[in-house]
Structure 1
Amino acid sequence: MNFICFSYIGLKVNYIKIIAIALISILIAVGGTLFYRSKSSNNAIIPMNSSANDAALENKFKEILSNYRKIIVLVADEDKLSKPELDASIRIGQEVFHENQEKIAEVERTLDSFVTSTQTTRFETTNRLLDYVESDNTLFDADRLAFKDVLASLQTSVTKDTSLTAIKMHKRISEDLEALNEIEHNYEKEMGQIFSHFEQRGIVLKREKWDTYVAHLKQLYSREKILKDYGTVLPAAIKTEPVVGVPENSKPEGEIFGNKLPPKTIVLTFDDGPHKQYTEEIAAILKQYDAPAVFFNVGQNLGSVDANGTAKLSPAAKISQKLRDSGYVIGNHSFTHAQLSKLSGDNLHAEIFNTDALLKAMDANRSTLFRFPYGAHNQEGLQALEKAHLKSVMWNIDSLDWADPVPSSIADRVLRTVEKEGRGIILFHDIHDRAVKALPIVLDRLVAEGYQFAGWDGNAFTVAKSDKAPQEKVSVSSGYSNSWAIVIGINDYAKWPKLQYAVQDSQGVRQILIEKLGFPSDHVFSLQNGEATRNGILAMFHDRLANSSVQKDDRIFVFFAGHGATRKLSSGRDLGYIVPVDSDPNEFAADAIPMTEIQNISESLNSKHVFFVMDACYSGLGLTRGGGSSNYLRDNAKRIGRQMLTAGGTDQMVADGGPNGHSVFTWTLLQGLSGKADLNGDGIITATELAAYVAPAVSAVSQQTPAFGSLPGSEGGDFVFELPAETEYINTATTQLSSDAIALNSKLDSTRSEPVIDEKSIKTKSNPVIKVKDLQGTVQTIVTPTAVPVSARQMAQHANDRGLQLYKEKQYAEAESQFTEALKLRPDFALAANNLGFVYYKQEKYVEAARWFENTIKIDPSRAIAYLNFGDAQFHGGDKDKARKGYQTFLELSPNSPSAGYAKQQLEKL
């Protein structure tokens, strides 16, 4: 059978401007939701013990919603604003954002003290609050996004209460957070559908268009009035308070500006940290690109300073110390993130010198870099910096990641500004997950465009000298904008022998592309049996893909399962063909599709990477060989890729009879795409890794010799699949592979080494070297790409995913080891805790299983399936009372679950 696999994995970049603008204030809204705290309230906790106070809370909640809406109006149509309007809108928006950050802190304290109290009315108040979020008919879907962080805070607080009422509350909040995530996703995609799986949730999506929402807000507020309310009026010829882009003749001496850098030079800066999770993830990404950076820390995040000026570092300072030890520069970003242009005297002095004392306590040779919050300063502030021997660092490229929660639009904004400026200092913040997601998109494109990253050498920003020869600029990125696929399967040939597995193979490939690998279903085109004529196949390429719909940063995956044929040319070279359903064996040279035509099509496609996978007999194609890559991600940002993987050589039949109605080749391919081909354990599968897994594995269990190579026109780019994080909580309903599938997988796995899953191995283990034939039949050596550096959190997820795979193959001891590794890396990983417990359960270690299900419940008390698993463990362990409680709690939380009938049956046995 012939199979052409076309998979394109990468970070999806959504350049739809309106969506980027549309969602800009989600974070800000997130920042301030239910309650209001003025700057003078300090650590005050709002009392919540009367209906009057409930009404006051709702009023404060509405004030925050009003601010959220105003910010949307401020940032809407950003590309149409004049520079004074945009500068003022950003400055006021940042002020509101940081006010909301203060409000979040107060809200968290208030909610924590309230829901963990002994007041009998505490959940009544919380329920009324959720009722408002879920069902108030004055709220748009977008309004509800303002409550996201507050609901997360509520969830954390409720976790401390183990009563059934609190567990139900936790479950309700969890469902609301899932609904809010879906609202955010829907606005990004602007899809006009209602998701039926929300019908049981409190929040019922209305699905208003974002334009409709913004138009409604503009009827309520005007940008001019908002600015005026915050003390800013913009006459026709206004000279606004400088934030960035200060005119040359007004820039204070000693300040560092991005537009003074050499052309094609970028400085990466990150403000407001350190953050307990995101800072280290950003550092891991920077390491991957060998990119230096400056992290401007807020002093109160590092520790405290007493009245005598003695600094005491907090545990969070260890994050910054680790950054410093890794070669990154730590800068001063004031002590409380106050607007220093409004301060003077001792207050101004303390903001600068308290953080300086903390940085000196962390490193006596601390850097001399300082960043004014909001970029706002007065002359006294500059004089204070001079006294402290510090330099002010401004920026000229603002990511606006503090306001925009959509990573693709953050990246788009940065890249558009870089293109305009040609150089500069980029402002990011390391306190948001969207900055983590946007950063690789930005770095991929900048590397592809030939930009260099400068670091601070103690005196100036300079690019470190390298012994490597400069690499040629390629105006494409390795980040994929969209993913496309053509999947073809033919069983019912009219004049060729009929096949049994081709259609099933194509269906299996289509399913894994959509359900696991992130290909949009409307971008995966299928041809089966009678549809797969010669004209139909060629039209699919020319009409569906070779047009303006496919962009230069897209990926295309092509899979063909059917007959293949080979004809010997007069030169002695073999020419391969794929056989359409309407081909005649006596005329296949005329009515089949020669691989030379496929090669021509591949070169004409306007996409970054194309990957063909051919599951067909006699699939020798005479392809050219592609070069290897020692640093996958950096090289891949620069190189076009046209690759092909075939099922066998020119003289080989393809083996049918694999598990679940697949050929051996396609079964192995599907297993590889499910995660087994992630040979270095970094959560990414390249076409090279896939070939390195599939080729030797198929050769070991059949008479086939799969081949892998590059098509003409390839520049060495490698097709990439990004594995999604597994989220399945293993339970009695979890399916495992059949005996024949497990037996075949055992044979396949014997041909390769185990994947790398720990940081030490990623750093030290040499890459596997695999012998694979190229498509001319010559043996080639391929080396799988170096593992991408990842955070401990990501490594934990990869270990869990590997454990799930092993569990489904009934390799319980190995699965136990992987889940254990995941918990070592991330002790609060409820998913891994549950899955470890179920592995014990399957091995009839009921006491140990029950302990881990209890741990799961402690981590995530509303996880209903953990109570069902706990009930099963106690049932078999002989503790009927605990088993009964587990089943009853499960039914309380999920009365309509498919497993509810099973739980009731178990209760009847007790």
Structure 2
Amino acid sequence: MISKPAILAVSAAVAAAIAGGYHLSRRPAQPPSAPSTQSAAAPAALRQTDALASQLKDILAAYRKTIVLLADEQGMTPGERAQATAVGQGLFHDNQERIAQADAALAALAGSGGAERHGKLAALLDYIEADPALYDADRLAFRELLQSLQGHVARDSSLPAIKLHKRISEDMDALAEIERNYDKEIRQIFGRYEQRGIALKRERWDDYVAHLKKLYSREAILKEYGVVMPYQGPQPGGEPAPAPPAADTGKAEEGEIFGTSLPKKTVVLTFDDGPHKRYSEEIGAILKQYGVPAVFFNVGRNLGSLDEARKPKLNGGAEVSRKLKAAGYTLANHSFSHAQLSKQTGGKLQAEILDTDVLLKAIDADRSPLFRFPYGARNSEGMAALDQARLKSVMWNIDSLDWADPVPSSIADRVLKTVDKEGRGIILFHDIHERTVKALPAILDRLVAEGYQFAGWDGSRFKVAGSASAPEAAPVAAGYGNSWAIVVGIDDYAKWPKLQYAVRDAQGVRQTLIDKFGFAAERVVTLKNGEATRNGILGAFHDKLAHGGVQRNDRIFVFFAGHGATRKLSSGRDLGYIVPVDADPNQLATDAIPMTEIQNIAESLNAKHVLFVMDACYSGLGLTRGGGSASFLRDNAKRIGRQMLTAGGGDQLVADGGPNGHSVFTWTLLQGLGGKGDLNGDGLITATELAAYVAPAVAGVSSQTPAFGSLPGSEGGDFVFELPAETEFLGAATAQLSNDAIAMNSRLEASGQPAAAQIAAAQAPAARPVPVTVKDLQGNEQKIIPPAAVPVSARLLAQRANDRGLQLYKEKQYAAAEAQFTEALKLRTDFALAANNLGFVFYKQDRYKEAARWFENTIRIDPSRAIAYLNLGDASARSGDTARAKSAYNTYLALAPAGGGAAYAKQQLEKL
């Protein structure tokens, strides 16, 4: 295994290996030697798997050639760059075939049941891990194959297979570290950057590339693929050199689309080579989260085959494409076998185009007429065949190079730089790589923030959905600029009954806004007791907000905890008031602040969304019904929102006696903001969701009926809180809720059945929002519908499952927490946070051996996570494994000598 004896030292080992020649193995580093037909160091078992060994070497050779082709890219002419890219794509797709064949052979070997299978697989791992002819960068060529092999081995429950699985896991960890160490160097090879004034020195990467250039030359590789570049200067004999083959300039030929005729700041997202059983759907989920269209160019053989009667026989890939189509994405034709169609003629050329067309029609009768030539390689016969089939060629002018570049951040940088240079166009991605999945959110975040619009295929042309003009630029998710708040809490009234909970409620809300949701402390205006006079409250609105720098893309949250009052007017209409600390009960009209004034303030504030939460009871606010939106994130960024949630109606009293000195309403509100208000599981809590959680729950445990609605002047916008991802590794120091808090939460969950049903339904793939009945402030019932869940990636689903598990753990619901942490690990097997947290749930249930295993898994995934060693020490000590406990405690002290658990670890060592 790579660095097997010291997983903790992976990073240091890699750094040392880089310094010594990029060699990482289980034996001391040696200078790399030129590869031979069969390495002398390869074990005898490797020679028994000659076919697989040969395939691995062919995979490595193609990988190396790709690097040689694209090295020094910034120094190439446009013609040279175009040819190198075209040949590089050919190398890449040929290599995909080799990898698929090797994967099939490895799957057969792992599942053969033969006694020799483990030794043969171990021999192949020996070659990848320790062959002296390999540089560390070479080993990255085998990452996808190792990932797949790990899955094959996992199906074998024998002890040797378990050891192999652990070994491959450690190898994958080491490869991830190699990738991080090579990040800058790989960017230099695969990135399209301008030269800096002072070139950074990368001697060891240069050594690697120089080594590869001794093995291969760009000229020889191009020649191998039928390309000979002409002289760039005068030819022998004094004749001028002929012009190199022109690179695609983005100018549309007849019948083709390049994207250069799109409006400024408009892009089309396209994904080639799928569908892929894992990555295509994950990419679709990311696109759905951002609300942007895309075109997926499918390779026919990934969809199925045709029988002798040319009837389609669809496979699992077709179901992936069917889901993409159902989600609103465009399916298109990318040939049947990804052959270079410029070299095909006659019936073979026709079959490459038409066979995939038949398969696509079986999936979607109204399939799009879009076609992309593999490698962009087309000729007049191919264009004529498209015309005859009534298909249209779609090229690109922005190449992500995700087929060659293994580093997501480098892919993102390249795309953004090229988009900035081009200003518009069609972006080429491939939905068959994990690195594309990782790069896509960073690309979309920047493009959305910079005001780019995304065009989709409308049946006849690429068009921005809904409008030809650019929509308002707003980052996805909350989409706000600055966040402001006014928080008021009054206990110590002079002429009204004193309260016991209001100041603590205000303090709790303030800390939640700052600590959890990132409100800047200086923008949270807090008024307590004597500060909360009528002039003080109105001054906070007028001076601090209206004239304090609030911008139209900001949000404002207002919380009031204190007395409320309702006065019946001569017209018979009720008018609600909030009661400042200095108000006289007999002078309500002059001393208190009427809701009509709050409404006027709300309309005058220059902010996108404003939410008032009043822990007091009123009636007569004249609110309008709230509502959701189908394409919530994008629509919500355009709509003004003015909303209010109150604790109850005008004839009710606010219930004191909540946990931790809070009112029942504010406790429930804080629980909602803590994550329980995310009813659809998308990581966002809207005001509508918050009301749907709080109102029925509070009404079920008290005599209050909270009310919710939109103030006059609202345009349907919904205030949004974006939940941060929980990062807490559970340990002995993790605080849990008090018994009275747990009891209250149990009552809230039991009473708020609509919200509980919504949370359960949100976990279904095609969940529909559950309507919730809530009072408006006139006492009438209204049904509010939280926004539908936005599909998200498996990575984000794993994070949400972990976050729910953390909530459940703090409520001591260990079985339910265990299920959530398990779900997180099913979605993301390398999730160290969930692995540790699952282990600690086992520990709390006195299942110490299971706990120790999961703490060990955490350490395998993240070997520098100190708390996992502290937890492992505790679990090992409780299970009687003294030696392992001592080792774990000592490792914790080595990693965190001044950590919060250092004194505890020393005490435990003394006891052992």
Given the two structures, how large is their TM-score scaled by the length of structure 2? 0.65
1:340-383 alpha-carbon deviations (Å, 9 max, x no partner): 9xx97589x99999899999999988976444689798879867
Distance 1:586 1:516, change over 3 A: same
Give the corresponding residue for 1:857.
Answer: 859
Q: Does 1:246 align with 2:245?
A: no
SS of the equivalent of 2:871 reads helix
Structure 2 Cα separation of the partners of residues 245 and 730 of structure 1: 54
Pick aligned residue for 1:846 from 830, 843, 848: 848
Structure 2 Cα separation of the partners of residues 281 and 163 of structure 1: 27
Distance 1:264 1:174, change over 3 A: closer
Structure 2 Cα separation of the partners of residues 730 and 901 of structure 1: 18
Distance 1:375 1:749, change over 3 A: same
Give the corresponding residue for 2:699.
Answer: 699
Give the corresponding residue for 2:619.
Answer: 620
Q: Does 1:436 align with 2:441?
A: yes
Q: Which of the two has higher C-alpha Rg? A: 2
Contact 1:369–1:390 (8 Å) recurs in 2: yes
Q: Report the Cα offset of residue 815 of structure 1.
A: 1.7
Give the corresponding residue for 2:457.
Answer: 454
Q: Report the Cα offset of residue 613 of structure 1.
A: 0.7
Residue identity opposite 1:797 in structure 2: Q
Give the corresponding residue for 1:644.
Answer: 644
Give the corresponding residue for 1:540.
Answer: 540
Structure 2 Cα separation of the partners of residues 264 and 215 of structure 1: 23
1:685-713 alpha-carbon deviations (Å, 9 max, x no partner): 22112112112222222332221111001
| Further displaced range: 380-389 or 491-500 | 380-389
1:11-39 alpha-carbon deviations (Å, 9 max, x no partner): xxxxxxxxxxxxxxxxxxxxxx989x9xx
Q: Percent identity?
A: 53
SS of the equivalent of 1:708 reads strand
Give the corresponding residue for 1:794.
Answer: 796
Q: Does 1:821 align with 2:823?
A: yes
Q: Does 1:744 align with 2:744?
A: yes
| Further displaced range: 478-487 or 380-389 | 380-389
Contact 1:171–1:862 (8 Å) recurs in 2: no
Residue identity opposite 2:622 in structure 1: L
| Further displaced range: 588-597 or 542-551 | 542-551
Structure 2 Cα separation of the partners of residues 812 and 476 of structure 1: 44
Give the corresponding residue for 2:834.
Answer: 832
Contact 1:681–1:755 (8 Å) recurs in 2: no
Distance 1:396 1:552, change over 3 A: farther
Contact 1:244–1:394 (8 Å) recurs in 2: no
Q: Report the Cα offset of residue 894 of structure 1.
A: 3.1
Name which structure has the greater RCO, CA cutoff 8 Å, separation 6+: 1
Q: Report the Cα offset of residue 540 of structure 1.
A: 3.3
Q: Does 1:631 align with 2:630?
A: yes
Q: Report the Cα offset of residue 328 of structure 1.
A: 4.4
Distance 1:232 1:815, change over 3 A: farther
Q: Report the Cα offset of residue 844 of structure 1.
A: 1.4
Name stretches of at least 5 consecutive residues in structure 1 with no aligned partner: 1-32, 38-43, 55-63, 75-84, 131-148, 182-213, 222-229, 304-312
Distance 1:48 1:660, change over 3 A: same
Give the corresponding residue for 1:906.
Answer: 908
Give the corresponding residue for 1:194.
Answer: none
1:139-158 alpha-carbon deviations (Å, 9 max, x no partner): xxxxxxxxxx99x99x999x
Structure 1 Cα separation of the partners of residues 535 and 698 of structure 2: 32
The number of residue pairs the alignment matches comes to 765
Contact 1:331–1:370 (8 Å) recurs in 2: yes
Contact 1:758–1:795 (8 Å) recurs in 2: no
Q: Report the Cα offset of residue 631 of structure 1.
A: 2.6
Structure 1 Cα separation of the partners of residues 444 and 542 of structure 2: 35
Contact 2:412–2:443 (8 Å) recurs in 1: yes
Distance 1:363 1:557, change over 3 A: same
1:728-739 alignment, distance < 5 Å: 728-739=728-739
SS of the equivalent of 1:651 reads coil
| Further displaced range: 622-631 or 759-768 | 759-768
Contact 2:848–2:879 (8 Å) recurs in 1: yes
Q: Report the Cα offset of residue 659 of structure 1.
A: 1.9
Distance 1:168 1:370, change over 3 A: closer
Structure 2 Cα separation of the partners of residues 322 and 34 of structure 1: 45
Structure 2 Cα separation of the partners of residues 491 and 519 of structure 1: 22
Q: Does 1:598 align with 2:603?
A: no
| Further displaced range: 260-269 or 646-655 | 260-269
Contact 2:400–2:428 (8 Å) recurs in 1: yes
Pick aligned residue for 1:777 from 757, 776, 779: 779
SS of the equivalent of 1:785 reads coil
Give the corresponding residue for 1:487.
Answer: 486
Q: Report the Cα offset of residue 442 of structure 1.
A: 7.1
Q: Does 1:610 align with 2:610?
A: yes
Contact 1:266–1:453 (8 Å) recurs in 2: no
Contact 1:476–1:638 (8 Å) recurs in 2: no
Distance 1:326 1:528, change over 3 A: closer
Q: Does 1:873 align with 2:875?
A: yes
1:187-237 alpha-carbon deviations (Å, 9 max, x no partner): xxxxxxxxxxxxxxxxxxxxxxxxxxx99945669xxxxxxxx9999xxxx
Contact 2:817–2:841 (8 Å) recurs in 1: yes
Structure 2 Cα separation of the partners of residues 588 and 88 of structure 1: 81
Give the corresponding residue for 1:141.
Answer: none
| Further displaced range: 519-528 or 744-753 | 519-528
Q: Report the Cα offset of residue 672 of structure 1.
A: 0.6
Contact 1:476–1:639 (8 Å) recurs in 2: no
Q: Report the Cα offset of residue 742 of structure 1.
A: 1.0
Residue identity opposite 1:282 in structure 2: I
Structure 2 Cα separation of the partners of residues 819 and 541 of structure 1: 44
Structure 2 Cα separation of the partners of residues 46 and 849 of structure 1: 31
Name stretches of at least 5 consecutive residues in structure 2 with no aligned partner: 1-16, 34-66, 97-101, 103-121, 151-162, 185-192, 201-229, 234-242, 305-313
Q: Report the Cα offset of residue 277 of structure 1.
A: 6.0
Contact 2:270–2:427 (8 Å) recurs in 1: yes
**How well do the aligned residues superpose, as a CA RMSD in angstroms?**
6.5
SS of the equivalent of 2:685 reads strand
Give the corresponding residue for 1:708.
Answer: 708
Contact 1:653–1:704 (8 Å) recurs in 2: yes
1:868-889 alpha-carbon deviations (Å, 9 max, x no partner): 2232222222232333333333
1:555-570 alignment, distance < 5 Å: 555-570=555-570
Q: Report the Cα offset of residue 909 of structure 1.
A: 2.1
Structure 1 Cα separation of the partners of residues 747 and 178 of structure 2: 42
Structure 2 Cα separation of the partners of residues 379 and 395 of structure 1: 19
Give the corresponding residue for 1:589.
Answer: 589
Q: Report the Cα offset of residue 666 of structure 1.
A: 1.2
Q: Report the Cα offset of residue 764 of structure 1.
A: 5.6
Residue identity opposite 2:270 in structure 1: T
Give the corresponding residue for 2:13.
Answer: none
Residue identity opposite 1:771 in structure 2: T
Q: Does 1:726 align with 2:729?
A: no
Distance 1:353 1:519, change over 3 A: farther
Contact 1:114–1:122 (8 Å) recurs in 2: no
Contact 1:292–1:455 (8 Å) recurs in 2: no
Residue identity opposite 1:293 in structure 2: A
SS of the equivalent of 1:889 reads helix
Q: Report the Cα offset of residue 807 of structure 1.
A: 0.9
Contact 1:482–1:554 (8 Å) recurs in 2: yes
Q: Report the Cα offset of residue 628 of structure 1.
A: 2.7
1:568-610 alpha-carbon deviations (Å, 9 max, x no partner): 3332323223334454555453343322222112112233221
Distance 1:769 1:453, change over 3 A: same
Distance 1:522 1:454, change over 3 A: farther
